[in-house]
Amino acid sequence: MSAALRRLRARGARSALAATGVLAAGAMLGTAVTVAYGLGTGFDRATQRADAPDLIASFDERSRADVARRVRALPNVESVSYRFEVKDVPIAAGGEVIRSGAVEVVRSGRRGYALLEGRDIAGAPREIVVERGVARELDLGVGDRLDVGRLGAHRVVGISLAPDNVAYPLADAARIYLSSAALARRFGSEPSEANRMLLWVRDSRRLDSTLVQARAVSFGVSDLRFLTRAGVRVLRDEAAGIVIALLVAFSLIATLAAGVMLGALGRADVERRLPAIGVLRAVGLSRAGVAARFALDAVLIALPAAALGIAAGALLARGPTASLLGSINELAPGAALLGPLGGALVALVAIACGASAWPAWRASRRPPVELLRGAELRGAGGRLAARLPAGMGWLGLRMLAGRPLRTAAATAVLTIAAAIVLLLLALASQLTELRDDPGSIGKRYDLAADLGPERAGDVRALAGVDAASVRYSVAAADAFDLGETLRVVAYPGDHTRFEASPLTDGRRVRADGEAEIGAGLADALGVPLGATLAIALESGGEARFRVVGIVAALEDQGRIAYVRPPRVLAADPGAPPEVAVDLARGADRAGVIAALRELGAGPPMSVGGAASDQPGFVSVLAGVLRTVALVNGLVALYALVQVLALTALERRSALALLRAVGGGRGELVRVFGGAAAIRTAAAVPAGALLSALVLGPAVGSLAADYAPLAPRPSAGQVVFVACGSAVMAALAVAIVARRSARAPVAAGLRGVE
């Protein structure tokens, strides 16, 4: 050990360089592990700490006694808590007002939320617990004052987290909790109604049957919605799936880049020390002994550097990750992260160790006398290399042919990097499109005006209007399973002129009793083609349709049905009509809106994409994706520079010779250019294919399995990445050629640095 330390001290600068490489790799890995582990396990941590219920039911307010009576009929119930939630209560603190406050009146029993600070509400008047998102938004701490609508000032006694929804402001409502007993003490009575119920079951494996029976005993309960813990997880996974998939991909690139980098460093070290290996072999050290020495040296460098790098990466990522987890009401991993980080440390040290010991093991196979001379002369590249044309650029290619494994690994890194960059760019474009372009969700009209069917003809006659049709859009539930909600859209004629989600099975609607339904609805209800879709409308009326087509609809998560109006209007004569307006190309939008107002319409609604209700969030996400794409490109550049630098180091004698016989920086640029060009030229098309055929569909299915969301890079994006890669390669070549042209020729010929 002490001898190894002396060896490292003797190679001070090189040891520091190797340690820097390991440190950088560790930082990348630490960041990736922290974010991926935090996001991957945050929900479980939060549900466990919050004692989250297995099932949450929300419904129109009704007598708590009535709800309790229905619950008593259910099997497998361990405990139940009732809530009375009042929405749209203005809450204010420090001059800031939130109008969408949701006051949950809590009775005794299990809470379903975790207390992160302070204590729970205990029945004393004017005490309140606020959700962490609300506390953050209003800058509230324990002991601060919060004004709650007409209830007046309250003191915050605790900060909570409930993982059944994302945090405010991502969630619509700012949740706060009041004690029912406190209200009773203050006002003499407490609410006898409930509109939310939290239920814990004894055996979660039998939750499905409990849910079926809960629906059965809910007859007559209006606006009933069930949300299971598994359902919440699915929703979270859909949202976080893309992020996690991208991070896993990013950490894969980071790990691959780190592997290539460490491999390059290890290999370079062995190359430098070939004569020393020759001496060791000459004095009788076994091959295993040589490999063990290199392994020990690598461990001594890698262990502290990797630990430092991983710790730095974890610390860097900890804040943003905790913030992200906080915004979706999940908990940061805390000390639990130490395990995965420890695993990453072991993996990184093992890679560094292997990257050093393996080339030493292989090198020590050569005769000691050859090693003592520096051992460069080899028929590198074999027949393939010999068939390539002569010339400096081709010489670079021939040099690569002598290192097929490394060339493949480096090309793989660049390919994956190109694929991820293309995926990120495609995803960012798709998000923007989903936000702005109604066509992205199959909508082919621009405005919706609240006018009756009798005005449709007048609207069609307006200048700038290409087509107009009356449209009904109503909320409904499956008549057999009231918990399954859907949206019913009705057009009197061919709806595909105005809305045409892609048909995946069957045909379009042709008659009054037929329906096209979204794949999401077909999956949720288990309704195949030819089956009957029975829906209960808000009026209480029921309508039945025969399913003739399945469409890949993105809107309402695919829980949508397209029908003709007569049966909808028969079941609910009060269904509100509107007129869908498709503007002519180049039409004066403002002029048409003014004309619609003159016809008696309220402010016409512009039709947006699927995510048009969260434009800011989508913009931020698209920006983040493009930034990650840029970082990814820089990682690829770094990997390319490292690999070229290794070639320069390994072939320092050859490069010195080129310079000795009259080659200048131009010749070096051509040699390295050839080496970089083949990798880049292979990586971009391979990356485009990987992105379009594998990563895109995988990410698309993570995001939504009910609609074709797979992001595909456009030709423009592929060209952009190809140009970017060419610039990146040129930059890498320029950096390495410049560095090589500055190295002393004589030293290079002697095979030393």
Partner 1 sequence: MTARRRLDSGPEGLPILGEVPLVTARGLAKSYGTARGARRVLAGADLDVEAGEMVAVLGRSGSGKSTLLHVLAGLDRLEAGRIEVGGVRVDRLREPALTRFRLTGVGLVFQFFHLLPELSGEENVLAPAKMRGATPGAAGRGRELIVRLGLREVAGSLPHLLSGGEQQRFAIARALVNDPPLVLADEPTGNLDAASGTAVLGLLGELTHAGKAVVLITHEREAAQRADRVLELADGRLR
Q: Which is nearer to partner 1, 175 or 659 (CB)?
A: 659
Single-letter residue type at 326: G
Question: Which lies closer to partner 1 via its Cβ, residue 148 or residue 654?
Answer: 654
Nearer of residues 362 and 387 to partner 1, judged by Cβ? 387
Decide if 499 contacts 562 (C-beta within 8 A): yes
One-character DSSP codes across 129-145: EEEHHHHHHHT--TT-E
β-strand pairing of 77-93 with 55-63: unpaired
Residues with Cβ within 8 Å of residue 349, at least 6 apart in sequence: 299, 302, 303, 306
Contact characters 708-747, partner 1, x per CB under 8 A: ---------------------------------x--xxx-
Residue number with CB closer to partner 1 (185 or 738): 738
Shortest reach from residue 278's CB to partner 1, in Å: 15
- Decide if residue 166 touches partner 1 (CB under 8 A): no
Q: How far is the CB of 376 from partner 1 (least distance, A)?
A: 7
- Spatial CB neighbours of 597, under 8 Å, sequence gap ≥ 6: 603, 604
In contact, 366 and 375? CB cutoff 8 Å: yes
Task: Return the structure tokens found at 688.
Answer: 């485009």
**Considering only residues 188, 530, 540, 662, which one is a binding residue for partner 1 as defined by CB under 8 A?**
662
Least Cβ distance, residue 355 to partner 1 (angstroms):
24
| Residue that has been written with the tokens 């906080």 in this structure | 326
Given the complex with partner 1, which of 128 and 274 has the nearer CB atom?
A: 274
Give the nearer residue to partner 1 in terms of CB position, either 224 or 671. Answer: 671
- Are the beta carbons of 465 and 587 closer than 8 angstroms? yes
Q: Which of 335, 590, 661, 715 binds partner 1 (CB under 8 A)?
A: 661
Query: By CB under 8 A, is residue 658 in contact with partner 1?
Result: yes
Number of neighbouring beta carbons within 10 Å of residue 453: 16
221 phi/psi in degrees, rounded to 5? -85, 125
Q: By CB under 8 A, name the one of 26, 266, 663, 687 that touches partner 1.
A: 663
Q: How many CB atoms lie within 10 A of CB 670?
A: 19
| Window 371-400: residues binding partner 1 (CB under 8 A) | 373, 376-381, 385-386, 390-392, 395, 398-399
User: What is the per-residue DSSP string for 652-713?
Assistant: HHHHHHHHHTT--HHHHHHHHHHHHHHHHHHHHHHHHHHIIIIIHHHHHHHH-TTS------
Instruction: Provide, rounded to whole angstroms, the least separation between the CB of residue 741 and partner 1.
Output: 7
The footprint of partner 1 on residues 324-363 (CB under 8 A) is: none
Q: Which is nearer to partner 1, 405 or 715 (CB)?
A: 405
**Residue 662 Cβ vs partner 1, minimum distance, rounded to whole Å:** 2
Q: Which stretch binds partner 1 (CB under 8 A): 342-350, 503-511, 653-661, 685-693?
A: 653-661
The one segment of 53-61, 435-443, 497-505, 656-664 that binds partner 1 by CB under 8 A: 656-664
Q: How far is the CB of 375 from partner 1 (least distance, A)?
A: 11
Q: How far apart are the first and last CA of the chain?
A: 26
Q: How many residues at the interface with partner 1, by CB under 8 A?
A: 35
Amino acid at 410: A
Tokens of 584: 């002519």
Residue placing its CB nearer to partner 1 in the complex, 584 or 743: 743
Strands 152-161 and 127-131: parallel
- Under rule CB under 8 A, residue 163 binds partner 1: no
CA distances from 447 to 556, 564, 589 (A): 19, 20, 9
The residue ranges that bind partner 1 (CB under 8 A) are: 373, 376-381, 385-386, 390-392, 395, 398-399, 401-402, 653-654, 657-667, 741, 744-746, 749
